[in-house]
Structure 1
Amino acid sequence: MKRTGRPSRYPAPAVILSITLALGLSLALAWMICVRTLADMLAAESPLDALFWDPAHPVALGNVATTELERAGNDAERRVNARRAADYAGRLVARDPFASGGLSLFGATQDRLGAKPERVAKIMRVAGKNLPIDIVAHGWLYDYAARTANAADMLTELDILLRGRPSLGPKFVPSVLALLAARPEAEAGLVNLLAASPIWRSPFLFYLCTQPGDSDRLLRIFNRLRQTAAPPAMSEVGPLIDRLLAEQKVDQAYLLWVDSLPAERLTKLGLLYNHDFEYPLTGLPFDWRFVAAKGVAITVEGEEKRRKLNVEFQGGRVQFRNVSHLLVLAPGKYALNGVSQTEGLENARGLRWRLYCVASTTVLAETSVVKGTTAPKRFRNEFVVPDAGCELQNLVLEIPSRIASEEQVSGMASYSDLGIESVAP
């Protein structure tokens, strides 16, 4: 008969081994998780401490390399710092060649250490290809193209940089203007780039027009752009018009403005464009300009051919000169016409239209002031534009206040049927 023994109270060796291995793996995994979590927490603020726990932590390596590269000092110290930065950046790239910003950071360290620009350019091109939004890589390539006067590459990099960060436009405008001055043929490339209507076009054109430089070149660029399928919008033309007026190039400014108008409006320019507020206001010179002010509502109301300008003062003090229109009347005799109406307009001085020469501030015409409550009343003021010194005129609706107490105003005034006509001598 076969004997049966009691079952052992202890687990088999194989079971003990399995449990031991599982426990060891769990502890190792827990330790790894703790180490990586701690390194992640320290990587931004204390990257060197993070590297103590994880010597290959990509964020910490990048941060330390950046810090070393940006550290101030004399030439010798900066070179030592660059070597340290290159070591950390090299470790980052070795760990992960596609780490965000790793290659461009390594390229920047090589540039600082005096590597040949061609070698650095190869590194930066690979970095830019791996990460199309790598600002460091594309910024370096832009500067390299500018140094080597490579207009095509410069404009390509400009497009990449500004598509990623349109706010960088002011940083690049001076170098673009320098390129255009040195390489006039680059104008065509810039126009082609702008004709594609990139997202950064409008702010870049604004920055371009506000920088010192050759306004005639800017005018050529706008004229060439107007011949494309994406001509400048009226809002894009405005800064250049203001620039030309500031340089007293009145004829060029006016022609640029006329060229920006829709074709159907060219037959209705008149002496006072948009005199009946038929078209939406553009806010550009040679159109009505309304400037917002606290406690004042400036509106246009009414149906076609019966529109009127309403100015409602809600009480309080205001230095009101907030409705204006630039004119380019030739020397000669004219008349300013219109219809005024007021309702409870309370002000010590009243409201009036004043027309003056911009260059000399010589007053050409002033209407009678209106205040209180008045029925619609037609006014007409004849004036003469002199032969010289008055190429540009400004028509302004104003309260001619002289002291603060005369700025207190409430009530409403309306104007309609405004116009300017030539008068036979």
Structure 2
Amino acid sequence: MIAVVSALGMTAVLSGCGLTGASGDVTLKLVAADYGNSAANSSEKYWGALVKEYEADHPGVKIDVSVYSWNDVDREVKKMVDAGNPPDLAQIGAYADYAAKDLLYKAGDVLSIPVQADFVSQLSAAGEVNGVQYGMPFASSTRLLFYNKSLFAEAGITPPRTWAELAADAQALKAEGVTYPYALPLGPEEAQAETLQWLLGGGGGYTDDVGTYGIDSPQNVETFTWLKNELVGKGLTGPVAPGELNRADAFAAFADGEVGMLNGHPSLMKIAAKKGVKFGMVPMPGADGESKRTLGVADWMLAFKKNGHHEQIGDFLDFVYSEKNVVDFSREYDLLPVTTSASRAMAGAEQDRHLKPFLQELASSELYPVGKTSWAEVSAQIKARIGKAVAPGGSPSAVLTQIQATATRAESAHQ
């Protein structure tokens, strides 16, 4: 069983699985990613139930769904597109490359006005290229600081609000023999997430106010200099070098009671609770107080133009994005709803109270610059290089400058 990770950090295990309903006059092919962590809660089951319900009321339409693991789904869609046979719909991790090649319907070409207007504004904006929405958000997540309540009680400390307090707490945890006082996963699995959360806390980010890459900005250099000197350099991030520590391993260590603090998303709640870890969650600390912005992540639904059927695509997507279906999906996989109506419903529901802190963070979240066709290349460079910025003898300024140079070249190449 191979565990893999989506843009949201969710694990999934299934390879390609086909789902087909009753025959009809029009067949829509949908390729979707799996958010489950076993066959019992696979997305194959989710889409199977959804398709059955839709086709019962739409006898002239057949939905043919193929579900792939996150290890395969983006590659499978690319193979279909390269072969000149794209699916009608793809629920995957990125959209900008296909939009740049004019392969996608605009969201407004397929969705009804009420459905398009119902998307959470931050997510809707992140789906735009040059002010036009092509990426339709399908699932979202934010981050909070998780801390081990038992370890904090033993060390006599309280959750931090600032970086200075976080470092002091980490020192106290280290003195108590905690293996990872603060787990800093800057390994290749999801380094771009941990990096952006820290940059936001330092008043920076990947881009400036007008969307231009500013990875080597003074604020960002200062942030990684602080991380190198005050956390990593003082032995407060555990026995594994941050550049070699992956998110999944950090989560597993937290569930095993070896981590005092780490930056986590909703799925960590279930992982930790299953192992009996008593944990708390607070907003991520920033340089001078709670971080004013937090990391937001989204996965996307794409509608390809090649086969036509925009009316049938739109009608099916209006069904997919109904309040009930968005709520059901979000509850099944501990993700945040991508629509305002579903967010409102879950914010007021007792059964969703564990997600409320993450929902509150969504309003102030900042997503990756996924509207840039250069982002995939830049993200790969961050994953490959950023750990070196905090390594012994490493230079935050030099590493960030190298990544910025890559970003500048990639941006020019895609214009």
TM-score (norm 2): 0.23
| Larger RCO: 1 or 2 (CA < 8 Å, sep 6+) | 2
Query: Highest Rg: 1 or 2?
Result: 1
